[in-house]
A = this chain, B = another copy of it.
Amino acid sequence: MQVSARGEYAVRISVTLAHGHPRTISASTLAAAQELPRKFAEVILGDLRRAHLVDSVRGVEGGYRLSRAPEDISVGEVLRAVDGPLSEIRGRRPEETSYEGAAVNLPRLWVAARAAVRSVFDGVSLAQAATGEFPLRVAELTAEEDAWMPR
């Protein structure tokens, strides 16, 4: 479950937009707020716009705003918009994998792993990510101390 710089930036930007919703915020302001390169932020906002997750307004007083309510956009949608599918196995979708011999059951494992990832990223809205009020199922995952330990 690698999240790229693009992915991380996109979520930080989106959460910032959610926080200020429905005001429009400029790329420079967003970049400054999250301390990320302005030009790169512009590129990412372009991706989000093309995915119809944000609307943009040109000109002075222009900027970006979420195209839907923050409660209605999931973190998963944002990640997919900039990084593609949440889960890939050697560049393929989990359900597209297929093996011979002792490995025949692996597709089910890949699908299970994807489902687990989805349950978190598709289950958390930008509004929840901004407030920190995660769904119970997600909050439980962080409750055990072990979840915070590297392995």
Number of A residues near B (Cβ < 8 Å) is 69
Interface centre among A2, A90, A105 (most CB of B within 10 A): A2
Min CB distance A73 to B, Å, is 14
Q: Are A106 and B129 in contact (CB under 8 A)?
A: yes
A80 — nearest CB in chain B belongs to which residue? Answer: B151
Let me know if B99 and A34 touch, CB within 8 A: yes
A89 to B42, CA, bound (A): 21
**Chain B residue, CB-CB nearest to A147:** B115
In the complex, are the beta carbons of B90 and A116 less than 8 A apart? no
Query: Are A99 and B12 closer than 8 Å at their CB atoms?
Result: yes
Pairs A-B, 7 closest by C-beta atoms = A105-B132, A19-B102, A1-B1, A115-B141, A116-B116, A112-B141, A115-B147
> Given A3-B89, A4-B90, list of 20 further CB < 8 A pairs?
A1-B2, A1-B87, A1-B113, A2-B2, A8-B97, A12-B102, A15-B106, A18-B102, A19-B101, A33-B101, A75-B109, A80-B151, A85-B150, A95-B150, A105-B132, A106-B129, A111-B142, A111-B148, A115-B142, A116-B120
